[in-house]
Structure 1
Amino acid sequence: MKLHCEVEVVSRHLPTLGLRSRGKGIRAVLTLCQPLSRAGAERGDPHPACLCIATMKDKRGTRYEANSSSLKGFLSALRLAHKGCDFDAPLSTQTPVKTSEFEKFKTKMVITSKKDYPLSKNFPYSLEHLQTSYCGLVRFDMRVLCLKKLKKLDLSHNHIKKLPAGIGDLIYLQELNLNDNHLESFSVALCESTLQQSLRSLDLSKNRIKALPLQFCQLRELTDLKLDDNKLIRFPFKIGQLKNLRFLSAARNKLPFLPSEFKNLSLEYLDLFENTFEQPKDLPVIKLQMPLTLLESSARTILYNRIPYGPHIIPFHLCQDLDAAKTCDCGRFCLNSFIQGTTTMNLHSIAHTVVLLDNMGSTQAPVTSYFCSLACYVNSSNMLK
């Protein structure tokens, strides 16, 4: 076995001579290996193995014999470093170390042409930033999922149509750039993965996405979201849950209106230029049910009182209904019994910088609102147009 690391060899006699170590390690390869001759081991000598430190200047390495207790301590430390994995690999034979093994771990790789894309070798496992743009990729390269330290992944300007759920296993991923691809969706699996804790920036511009799933709003660490030049016909109606979102761009889509919870955002920059916003409707859509059904009444009670629920408690389809419940302006909830109305909102009320919606200079956008009862609708009727 070999361990690539920074090593400093210090003599224990230095303090007695009034000397200090230089306090700086050098790039080395640490090997637990067999001695040059096994004769001693066969005679039962107490030093059956040794520690070899190879450097750029000494590629064959310098051997340091160790007693059995020291070796056990060393192996125990390695097991801890590997999260408790048992050590059962055979000892390496002492051989010269390759020059490439002394190179610093590569943390960034930028590939911007198809001819430079690696096909015969893997990406360096130490990468934290990988960019593969203009490479003509038609599918996601599954080798990327082995880059467990990845923080920034840029796959822009390719032809990728689908993302694997395994991206959600990249627990350190903070920035994901998928600009200018052929994506038609962003999967629920990614929204429910560890990206909920890590993802800060997401660029889905210039794709073919018509709608984002309701679960998208679980990516609550997002600060920067770009959705320009897609085919969006709606935002997730619980988009107001993205409390950390500061930069939102969704220009040149097909949005007819904004969801009511859009009013809960607090942005620094907002761009909704050239969407197909509709004029507010004069008459509301009334879907009130009197008396309320048992399903409606139960759902409102569960949501208002924040009673925990899940597929281990109630059927999965009921969980989906509860997740999709609408929020009334009064703060209560409604499932299938509601009044739907349309208001207008000045986007400056939620964003410091607003790009004009059209060439006429408008910053007023239509917003769909829901009311759980006739009383709520009447109380808010002076806001409706």
Structure 2
Amino acid sequence: MRLNCELEVVYSLAVMNGGGRSASKTTRSKASVCLGKKPVQGPAGGVKRDELYLIVSTAKNVSGSKYKVKNNVTKIFAKFVHEGKATIKFKEPAHDLFISKAEPDKLKELLKVLRLTPQEQTGVELAPLLPTKMQHIEAPKSKLVVKSRGEYPIKGFPSSLERFEAVGVSLNRLDMRLLELKMLQFLDLSNNSIKSLPESLKDASLIELKLSGNKLTEFPDSICIGNLSERLKLLDLARNSLAHLSHKFSNFKSLIQLRLDCNQLQVLPRTFGKMTTLKFLSISNNKLVVLPPSFPNLSLESLDLFGNPFTASGLVRRCSDLSLPTLQELTGRVIKKYRVPYSPYVLPIGLCHYLDSAKKCLCGKACFNSFLHYIANLNLHKVSATVTAVDQSGTTKVPVEAFLCSAKCLKLWNL
């Protein structure tokens, strides 16, 4: 059982005075960790028996350091084993092995054997320990770039893969095997012919996802809920055929950079402004006529909305009486004001949808059915440090939806 990884060894030394401990450590290096059986002479020259040993080899010490396993492993820390990390503490010698960048499945298998009782270890079938060769001491493959269709892997991908790029190789779907790679963080499938995305993409641990230049017509709601929405920092959907984004798109809580250029978007989700981590936003050459009411909540470093028509203007809807909201409206406003939690387990699903439909007045309060809906002008410099003009004339003011919740607000804003 062999494991390629990066390794750091801490030597714990007993301090003679005071009973404390001190430690020194090696630098992190590429290593081969091998678990196998080694024949050991029995007591008083008795019959030889096989015992489990762990041998750690590095470029500086190819022959390796051997660690007896039986009654010698004092502690195993495996909280981050899914990331290829673990720590193994030995009694003799008093070493702590810090393992990182290992293939998670192989690391789990090795730790499983180390956790067995001495009696259980006796029955484990492992190959004898063999001398480590230099070619065994290599880092797990973390990056794979496919430049042509003929280079595309058929038999599978290394489980240690962190970055995969297959740009312009005529792929018509997202390979499901990629989504099984637990260490994959960067995925670039730009300039292909992908028409749809699988629901299982929501469970991926990606930090960057580039899908520009494909044939996507929608971005499914199901992908906006899950691990992907928690971790993703860069999303590139430029040069597709997206005409709509749902309100769940704002669930991407860690997104820093978003590209939606050259699609068919006419509006953005009303909750778009909830993506407060967003810093770089580009939605040029779409069909936007107005920005959503939450858009001013953004605090960007760079914004590009060039090539959108932005033709909306004037009053959109006005209620007959802003001064007399319904009891349901007033209750909803209180729930939103004090952030009272709710769910379908507590309230009927219809009321949950009603509360989810809340609009935000310019005064900061919520409103539902009693409001004034109109189009205001927004200077884009108020939401971004750097702004690309929306047309050739250099305009940076665009229409944005706005709401007023009462006659008092209507008078205050002079509309």
Query: What TM bracket, shorter-length normalisation?
Result: 0.7 to 0.9
Between 352-361 and 132-141, report the one with greater CA deviation: 352-361
**1:209-358 maps to which residues of 2 (within 5 A)?**
209-281=242-314, 283-288=315-320, 291-358=324-391
Whether the aligned pair in 1 keeps the contact of 2:64 and 2:132 (CA below 8 Å) is no
Indicate whether 1:111 and 2:107 are aligned. Answer: no
Shift of 1:253: 0.8
CA distance in 2, matches of 1:176, 1:163: 12
Tell me the equivalent position of 2:411: 378
Whether the aligned pair in 2 keeps the contact of 1:343 and 1:367 (CA below 8 Å) is yes
Deviations 1:184-216 (CA, angstroms, capped at 9, x unpaired): 222333322223432211111111212222122
Q: Which residue identity is paired with 2:76? A: A
CA distance in 2, matches of 1:110, 1:231: 31
Whether the aligned pair in 2 keeps the contact of 1:51 and 1:63 (CA below 8 Å) is no
Q: Which residue identity is paired with 2:154? A: L
Tell me the equivalent position of 2:104: none
CA distance in 1, matches of 2:289, 2:8: 65
CA-based RMSD of the aligned residues comes to 3.7
CA distance in 2, matches of 1:169, 1:234: 28
Shift of 1:296: 2.3
Deviations 1:146-173 (CA, angstroms, capped at 9, x unpaired): 22222221111112222233333233x2
CA distance in 2, matches of 1:56, 1:65: 15
Q: Which residue identity is paired with 2:34? A: T
CA distance in 1, matches of 2:48, 2:409: 86
CA distance in 1, matches of 2:9, 2:292: 64
Tell me the equivalent position of 1:17: none
**Residues 331 and 33 of structure 1, relative CA distance in 2, 3 Å threshold:** same
TM-score where L is the length of structure 1: 0.81
Tell me the equivalent position of 1:154: 188
Tell me the equivalent position of 2:218: 185
Q: Which residue identity is paired with 1:134? A: G
SS at the partner of 1:258? Answer: coil
Indicate whether 1:139 and 2:173 are aligned. Answer: yes
Between 89-98 and 255-264, report the one with greater CA deviation: 89-98
TM-score where L is the length of structure 2: 0.76
Deviations 1:253-296 (CA, angstroms, capped at 9, x unpaired): 11110112212222221111111211412x44113567533432
Q: Identity over the aligned pairs, expressed in percent?
A: 36
Whether the aligned pair in 2 keeps the contact of 1:31 and 1:92 (CA below 8 Å) is no
Q: Which has the higher strand share?
A: 2
Indicate whether 1:77 and 2:79 are aligned. Answer: no
SS at the partner of 1:77? Answer: strand
Between 76-85 and 334-343, report the one with greater CA deviation: 76-85
**Residues 2 and 315 of structure 1, relative CA distance in 2, 3 Å threshold:** farther
Q: Which runs of 5+ in 2 are unaligned?
A: 12-23, 80-85, 87-106
